[in-house]
Chains A and B, each alone.
Chain A
Amino acid sequence: EAGVTQFPSHSVIEKGQTVTLRCDPISGHDNLYWYRRVMGKEIKFLLHFVKESKQDESGMPNNRFLAERTGGTYSTLKVQPAELEDSGVYFCASSHTGRYIEQFFGPGTRLTVL
């Protein structure tokens, strides 16, 4: 089966611009997660969808970040307007539902804000 895919792999934008990241989870996975790793630091949770509903968005840094998952399939994460501190690698993961199920990660999108 195909894994989690993310687009684009890299994005370089200027401060103040808008960027939209996309994640396609593994087919049939109801759970979709977004994480972020800022250079050299830990990977941090951003939010969790169950199908099209936001289950937990406690990790979203501020209201410049907007995540959607229309139809419960792919998800987008929009950053508007981007700031320098938003630079990092954004990972998407998906999983089936269950207490002991592992999450499968995509390759990540490296975002650089200049």
Chain B
Amino acid sequence: AQSVAQPEDQVNVAEGNPLTVKCTYSVSGNPYLFWYVQYPNRGLQFLLKYITGDNLVKGSYGFEAEFNKSQTSFHLKKPSALVSDSALYFCAVRDIDGTGANNLFFGTGTRLTVIP
């Protein structure tokens, strides 16, 4: 069965410091991984995705994520946090080869707060 775990409900980081939002996943086949962000009163916005190839994926707003197959992780990172990065972040996986291959399975979300 497919699942995503975001172990931290809340992450606080000082402006200018590096940030990491953690995500681990479980799928039976090959994973197709995403990060989405939700700003207050807005919908989910696509940040980045991993399909195959280079384990380090770069996305919007300076974010990047590292795919680690052995640890089944896909942590979101940014070298220098901005106050405007404060939002709710969701990790999602799609099991390309499994049942429900078109569906996204999401984690519970991590609220990131960047402190000025």
| A40-B108, A41-B108 known; A106-B102 Cβ under 8 A | no
CA distance A113 to B103 in the complex (A): 27
CA distance A105 to B36 in the complex (A): 10
Chain A residues in 8 Å Cβ range of B96: 99
Asked if B43 contacts A107 (CB within 8 A), the reply is yes
Which of B43, B106, B107, B109 has the most A CB atoms < 10 Å from its CB?
A: B43
Q: Which single member of A58, A103, A107 contacts B42 (CB below 8 Å)?
A: A107
CA distance A2 to B106 in the complex (A): 25
The interface size of chain A toward B, counting residues with CB under 8 Å, comes to 28
CA distance A44 to B100 in the complex (A): 12
Residue in chain B with minimal CB distance to A108? B43
- Chain B 6-24 per-residue mask, 1 if CB under 8 angstroms from chain A, else 0: 0000000000000000000
CA distance A110 to B103 in the complex (A): 21
Which stretch (B44-52, B63-71, B73-81) binds chain A? B44-52
B45 to chain A, nearest CB (A): 8
B95 to chain A, nearest CB (A): 12
CA distance A44 to B92 in the complex (A): 10
CA distance A84 to B103 in the complex (A): 26
| A102-B46, A105-B44 known; A42-B102 Cβ under 8 A | no
Chain A residues in 8 Å Cβ range of B92: 43
Chain B residues in 8 Å Cβ range of A43: 44, 90, 92, 104, 106, 109
Residue in chain A with minimal CB distance to B108? A42
B38 to chain A, nearest CB (A): 9
CA distance A28 to B110 in the complex (A): 32
CA distance A102 to B34 in the complex (A): 8
Residue in chain A with minimal CB distance to B106? A43
Asked if B103 contacts A59 (CB within 8 A), the reply is yes
- Chain A 89-114 per-residue mask, 1 if CB under 8 angstroms from chain B, else 0: 00101000001101111111000000
| A42-B108, A100-B32, A100-B51 known; A56-B103 Cβ under 8 A | yes
A residues lining the B interface (CB < 8 Å):
3-4, 6, 31, 33, 35, 40-45, 48, 55-56, 58-59, 91, 93, 99-100, 102-108
